[in-house]
Each structure stands twice: as C-alpha cells, then as structure tokens.
Homo-oligomer: A and B are copies of this chain.
Amino acid sequence: MLGILTDLYELTMAAGYVQAGKTDEIATFELFIRHLPRRRNFVIAAGLQQAVEYLLELSFTREEIAYLRSLPQFARAPEEFFELLARLRFTGDLWAVPEGTPVFPGEPVLTVRAPLVQAQIVETYLLSTVAYQTMVATKAARIVQTAAGRAVVEFGTRRAHSPQAGVLAARAAYIGGCIGTSNTLAGMKFGIPVYGTAAHSWVQSFADELEAFRELQKLLGPATIYLIDTYDTLEGARKAASLGRPLWGVRLDSGDLLALSRQVRAILDEAGLHEARIMASGDLNEYKIGELVRAQAPIDAFGVGTELATSADAPVLGAVYKLVELERAGQRRYTAKLSEDKATLPGAKQVYRFADHDLVACAEEPPPPGGEPLLRPVIRAGRLLEALPDATSARAYAAQALVRLPEGVRKLEQPEPYRVEYSQALLALAEQVRRRPAPTLARDPVHQKKETP
C-alpha cells in the first residue's frame, strides 16, 4: 500500500540500485523550495504529519508487485528487487522543521536519510503532500493577516483539486491561521473547529424564504447564520431581522459586499440586533478582503474557499527533493546537480534562525552561537521519536513564528527580502563538488558527519 503511489522512475531506479549492488548505500535527500512563488516572501511549512504517516505505513502489496512484474520496464529487473519490495518498510531517519515554521528557498523542510532504495521511492508522495499543504498554509497566513483580526473560515473543499486535497487544505489553512473549516472530515480527523449552516438550496427548497429562515433558527439557535442573497439580499436581511433572536448573524455571498454589508448592518441595527454579525463569502482572497477592511466594511467574518484551497494566484510551489549525500561502508560522498538553471548545494544541512536572518550550514558544523536550529529529528531508524504536535499546536506555533519574523518581511505588499546566508564550510563543500562533480566515495575528515542531518 502507498508505495505504489509514486512515479514509475522511482521504482525503475530502485530496481537499478539493486541491480548495481547499491542496496547497502545510505542516501540523504533534502526536500526544499527552490524559488518562492510569485507574491510570496516566505512559505509556512505544513504537511509533516501526513509525510510521517506515509513513511510509517510504506509498503507494497503482492498485487502491486505483480503489477510491476507485468510492466516492460521491469522485464530485466533482478528477482532480488521484487523480494526487497515485498518486505520493504521505511527504516531510515527523518528530520524536519516543525509544521508552522516559516521557511525560505533553499532551506530543507525535510531531510530523509535512509537506504537509497527507500529514500528514492518516497520522493513523489512526500513532495505532493508537503508542497500542497505548505502552499495552502502560506496562502491562509496571507488572508488571515489581511483580515486584521476578523475571523477567516476555510470553505474550499468543492474547489480543491480532489476530495483529499480538500481535507488537507482544511488542515493547512487552519495551521496558517484560519479559525476553522467547512470540511467535516477534517474536523473529525484533525480536531479542527467546523463551521457551516445553510446554502442557497436550503432557501430554495422551501416555498417561502421566511419559512426557510424560521426552520434554520429552530435547528441552529444561536449558531444560526442566514444566507440572505438567494433572491434579494436586502429583502432577505429584513426577513432575517424580523425573526429576532437567537441568531449568530447573516451571510452575504454575492453582489457588492461593501455596499450590501453597510445596508444590511443598518437593517440589523434598526431591528435592535446590534450583536448580530455579518459574514461575507464568494470568491474572496487577500486582495478583496484588504479592500473591504480598508473601507471599514462592517463584516465580522470571511468565508474563503476557492482561492485558498487552490492557492489560486500561485497554485504551484516548486518543491524539490535532492540527493545531497551517499554513504557506503563508512565512506561518504557529497552530491549536487550542476545543471545551469537548477543547480543544488551538496551535503546534509541544518538551518539556524536568528532574529533577522537565517544561516544554512553543513549539518555537522558546530552550531553558531545564538542561532535556533530549525530541523529536528522526527523518525529514527523507522520509529517515530514522539507524537507530532497536532494541528492546533502547529497553528499556535505558526502564529508565534510569524510574529518573530522582521515586520518588513511579513508585509503583503512590497515586502523586504529576508536574508539567508550560507556558511563558509557549506560554500567550500559546494565548490569542492563543483570541481569534482562525481568523485569516488572517499572519507572526508572535514565533513565527517556526527548525526543527520
């Protein structure tokens, strides 16, 4: 199970590693963001929980192995490869930055150190689960920041790229600062607060809008939110107001939200319902919310779906997973890709965070004074070291970590770039690998590793 959910080339390479007698090599791969997406000045790491669950559950069923045997690409694969798959479990180490950590390009989010075959196969799944949640947590942080204290609820499952994406979007958006989600499974699975009252179809299903509202109030009491734009928004607001208490408020889902929110506020106030709130939804994003906030629209909460669950203005996060080291019989080799536009830095790394900058260093360098190491051990020899923080803890961690970034870096418009430096030892190692791109395995006393990464 799960092992087969990978790119075929991970498996052909795995077969090739077996054929080439490389089953005893230990590889270190790093997962990082190559470049920031447009309009982003940092990303919020998320998805570690799902990455860990995947690694702990990794295996291949008999049926899956039989399928692989049937493919022409494995016609010459050694029998030992299929035997290896049949008993394959993840027995390596995982280091990771905690979920909710702001990270910058080139900084490892995860480091996998495991037998080469295992470390290779897990690439595809790790990338897709970590990059997506990271993208959504980042988008959520932007929206929540713009909402300036007003609540933001994630509503995007229907527009997410698959049902699973909807569940993960709910989780990531919560980590990024949303107060909850409409996704019921995410609520149950991750302990996230869930929100939702009624759609247009509810109103349409009654012959009369007022009757629809009355039934909703009976069901939801103080949690009642009337969706008032099915026919005529102001008429809907008047009907809602006529029912009095209990209610939470009303929701606007179309039209000119600024003008309507003011008119609806007046209707509610006129009815003495000063505490009744107004929620707005409908293709919102940080830019539209920013306009409403600046115009002081009387909106108390935003429901954001499509743009959040798809990170619509930057729907791609260029996360990559690169081989940086190989060890065999105590000898180590550092590797890097040198292609002109996609070069990488060799060797396992650690990231140290200071008040105003980060330092990326070789993992085995002595830690610089005052720097907080971001990568922490999570799995050792296939075993989870301790339960990960849940989504609620990750959300709190993200909020704290964001506030600790320099204010200029957090600005949504024309932010200041954050300084990421590389240690002398790391730059020297990179230069050394560049001069000898494919050296033979050799002991390297300068970079002798103490612990991964």
Contact = CB atoms under 8 A, between A and B. Distances in A.
B9 A196 contact: yes
Interface stretch (A97-105, A157-165, A370-378, A408-416): A157-165
A438 B209 contact: yes
Interface residues of A, number: 117
B7 A207 contact: no
A237 to B, nearest CB: 13
A362 interface: no
A306 interface: yes
A233 interface: yes
B316 A158 contact: no
A155 B7 CA distance: 8
Interface string A1-45: 000111111111101110110100101010000000000000000
B73 A220 contact: yes
A232 B339 CA distance: 6
A337 B230 contact: yes
A397 interface: no
A362 to B, nearest CB: 18
Nearest to A70: B188
Nearest to A68: B184
B77 A219 contact: yes
A83 interface: no
Contacts of A127: 158-159
B338 A231 contact: yes
A342 B201 CA distance: 13
Interface stretch (A128-136, A140-148, A288-296, A387-395): A128-136
B158 A205 contact: no
A429 B120 CA distance: 60
Given A205-B323, A220-B76, A223-B73, A157 B233 contact: no
A229 B238 CA distance: 67
Contacts of A25: 205
A255 B306 CA distance: 34
A118 interface: no
Contact of A16 (B22, B155, B202, B230): B202
A123 interface: yes
A229 B340 CA distance: 9
Given A7-B184, A165-B128, A201-B13, A159 B440 contact: no
27 contacts: A5-B166, A7-B157, A7-B183, A8-B182, A8-B194, A9-B197, A10-B199, A12-B197, A13-B198, A15-B219, A19-B215, A19-B218, A27-B201, A29-B201, A128-B158, A129-B163, A161-B168, A161-B315, A200-B323, A200-B339, A204-B335, A229-B339, A254-B339, A306-B318, A310-B316, A311-B315, A312-B316
Interface of A: 4-13, 15-17, 19-20, 22, 25, 27, 29, 64, 67-68, 71-73, 75-77, 116, 120, 123-125, 127-129, 131-132, 135, 155, 157-169, 182-185, 187-188, 194-202, 204-209, 215-216, 218-221, 223, 229-233, 253-255, 306-307, 310-312, 315-319, 321-323, 326, 333, 335-342, 437-441
* 5 cross-chain pairs, A with B, having the tightest CB-CB distances, nearest first: A8-B196, A9-B196, A164-B164, A161-B161, A315-B315
Given A77-B219, A125-B163, 12 more contacts: A4-B188, A7-B158, A13-B202, A19-B219, A73-B223, A123-B201, A128-B158, A128-B162, A206-B438, A253-B339, A254-B341, A254-B342
